[in-house]
Amino acid sequence: MESGFKKMQKLYLVLMVVVLLLGFLVCFSSASVSYDHKAITINGQRRILISGSIHYPRSTPEMWPDLIQKAKEGGLDVIQTYVFWNGHEPQPGKDAMEKFTRHIVNMMKAEELYENQGGPIILSQIENEYGPMEYELGSPARAYSKWAAQMAVGLATGVPWIMCKQDDAPDPIAYVYRNKSGGCAAFLANDDKTDFATVNFMNQHYNLPPWSISILPNCKNTVYNTARVGAQTTVMKMTREKIGFAWQSYNDETEDYDDNTFGTAGLLEQLNVTRDASDYLWYMTDVEIDPNEGFLRSGEQPTLTALSAGHALHVGLKGEILSLHSLSGSSSVEWVQGSLVAQRQPLTWYKAVFDAPAGDEPLALDMNNMGKGQVWVNGQSIGRYWPAYKASGSCTTCSYAGYFDEKKCLSNCGKASQRWYHVPRSWLNPRGNLLVVFEELGGIPYGISLVKREIYSVCADIYEWQPTLMNYQMQASGKATKHLRPKAHLSCSRGQNISEIKFASFGTPEGGCGGFREGGYVHRARIMHGPGNTRDLWRRSVSECNEETIGGSHLQLNRLIA
């Protein structure tokens, strides 16, 4: 029987877990997939696979098929994801993690996928960016990192393990492969931030854009350059739905001493006390005020200084205990409505009922008028919001050329770090959906709105002689006998059509999607009278189809935005 690795399909899903890197390929249609000493081969052809990352806990299972389809349409061959172990095993424990890791490693060994078995896996990963937690949590975190590393190395995969952002990770084993058959592949790099570079390599000249890398799988043909991707860029807009929320509010009450209250001296580490059951930990103490205190007679504002000599503690909010966010718990208290609804009031619960909007566009809540808190829809957590936190820094023209630093390419300076919060449609009923908000700092609930995310504009740019992997593969396989011009493809979502061409330029345009402008050279005749009467072709696309293909120009650059 042919191994599970060798019977695959046209969309390949690579599962990169926190515990190790897998070579899983998931299939939807049959294809012959194998590997040789150089690369993975599909239907007998060596392939360079383009990978993208999807974090599955950030979306509902009902959204996964559409996300995978969009990844495929966007040109990805591979989807890699992590296994978020804290979500699968929220309580402390190591046995299940080791059992899962060993199971996956044994599957890979059975398929002979590790490099020392002749397979393609040359590296594995355990944990991801856990190192900074050691500075926060101290010795327990260091003990966990050491255990995870020793557990992984003990599985004897024969390939190095890595721990991202881990200063004390075990040393990996170095492997070097030498091709005895004389095969050649090359990566050409230009590390200049502003100027193009002409590279003379194996008696051929290659023109590299600033801060870019070109891939030559046969040391001759460029099939990919990091500065010339050529994929469609989509600009989205958020459109407010005509749905008004009839809010009701409930002010959370500070708990008095009860059976869940305990005493302590000094402050405690919050997570160790709450066990992540609540974000809130109340400190309560008694203060005796002498009748002769000066502020009682003068009317001045008093100052209270707490020296942490002793406190009574209580975990959680009354609204949490009553599960006000749930369908059943929301009716357990008396809510106020109308003009009595609290605004700009800390520690306040709000609820409203709404019907699901028509259509299939993604939905979100605009929380820009709120401060900080949490949101639930039909008892499901939408997440935490914090629009009160404003992005700081200097927002200037962005260029990704050059080394990255935290102040580079800043955007939305002075605005909320996040404004819109996704509401999965699979969580909604046609009518009577319960929306619950808990506000910590104080906000204006009547400023909350439901919005749809829609495509506002699409654009693409193509350079003359821009390398594309598809063109190279067609020529290498003999399916094409002459040079193929690069093409840009523009398309809309289902049910939408391209209604207007806002900008098109053959020449040297400047700027980016949403802000293109003509450069120093424009070949206007090509815009008006291009191959196949380009203007008429675009007119036909407006009325007849929702996808357009623009062929490569004889000029240096052409760009189109619709």
| Residues whose CB falls within 8 Å of the CB of residue 54, separated by 6 or more in sequence, listed in order | 67, 68, 71, 79, 80, 81
Whether the per-residue pLDDT at 147 is higher than 90: the answer is: no
- Find the distance separating the first CA and the last CA of the chain, reported in whole Å: 51
For domain 246-251+319-447, the CATH superfamily is Galactose-binding domain-like (2.60.120.260)
pLDDT for 280: 84
Q: For residue 328, what pLDDT is reported? A: 92
* Mean pLDDT for the stretch of residues 122-144: 83
Residue 539 is predicted with a pLDDT of: 37
- Find all residues with CB under 8 Å of 30, minimum gap 6, and list them: 7, 8, 9
Return the minimum-mean-pLDDT range out of 13-22, 115-124, 444-453.
13-22
Percentage of residues in the chain having pLDDT higher than 70: 81
| Selected residue with higher pLDDT from 61 and 372 | 372
472/374: higher pLDDT? 374
Which pLDDT score, from 0 to 100, does residue 194 have? 87
Percent of the chain with pLDDT over 90: 22
Per-residue pLDDT at 28 exceeds 50: no
Quote the pLDDT of residue 169.
61
The lowest-confidence range among 64-78, 202-216, 496-510 is: 496-510
Residue 187 has pLDDT above 90, yes or no: no
pLDDT in tens, 266-320: 778 887 888 777 888 877 777 788 888 878 877 777 777 766 555 566 677 889 9
In this prediction, residues 144-171 reach a mean pLDDT of: 79
Instruction: Out of 78-87, 155-164, 465-474, pick the least confident.
Output: 465-474
> For residue 524, what pLDDT band results from cuts at 50, 70 and 90?
low
Which residues, 6+ apart, have CB-to-CB distance to 434 below 8 Å?
327, 330, 351, 353, 376, 377, 378, 379
CA-CA distance, 468 to 487, in Å (whole number)?
9
Query: Is residue 108 within a helix (H) or strand (E), and if so which, with residue range?
Result: helix 95-110
User: Distance between CA 78 and CA 80 in Å, rounded?
Assistant: 6
C-alpha–C-alpha distance, residues 330 and 334, integer Å:
9
* Model confidence at 14: pLDDT above 90: no
The tokens describing 149, both together, are: 């590393």
In this predicted model, what pLDDT tens digit does every residue of 70-122 receive, in sequence order? 888 777 888 888 888 777 777 766 678 888 889 889 988 988 888 788 777 87
Residue 545 CB contacts under 8 Å (≥ 6 apart), including other chains: 497, 498
- pLDDT value for 478: 78
Q: Output 503 or 11, whichever has higher pLDDT.
A: 503
d(C-alpha 341, C-alpha 124), whole Å? 55
Q: Mean pLDDT across the stretch 458-462?
A: 82
Instruction: Reply yes or no on whether the pLDDT at 18 is more than 50.
Output: no
Q: What is the mean pLDDT of residues 422-427?
A: 95
Whole-number pLDDT of residue 503: 78
Q: Count helices and strands (H / E) in the chain.
A: 11, 31
Phi and psi of 102, rounded to 5°? Answer: -65, -40
Confidence of residue 175 (pLDDT cuts 50, 70, 90): very low
Confidence grade of residue 260 (pLDDT, cut at 50, 70, 90): low
Is residue 456's pLDDT more than 60? yes
pLDDT at 127 over 50: yes
pLDDT per residue over 371-418, tens digit each? 999 999 999 999 999 999 998 888 887 777 888 787 888 888 899 989
Q: What is the mean pLDDT of residues 167-172?
A: 55
Helix (H, G, I), strand (E, B) or coil at 282: strand
pLDDT of amino acid 544? 32
Torsion region of 256: left, alpha or beta (phi above 0 gives left; psi -120 to 50 gives alpha): beta
| Averaged pLDDT, 154-169 | 79
Three-state SS annotation for 330-392:
HHCCCCEEHHHCCCCCCCEEEEEEECCCCCCCCEEEECCCCCCEEEEECCEEEEEECCCCECC
The confidence score (pLDDT) of residue 313 equals 64
- What pLDDT does residue 309 have? 53
Locate the domains of the chain by residue range.
7-164, 193-227, 246-251+319-447, 253-289+308-316, 458-562
pLDDT score recorded for residue 508: 75
**Where residue 255 falls among pLDDT bands split at 50, 70, 90?**
low
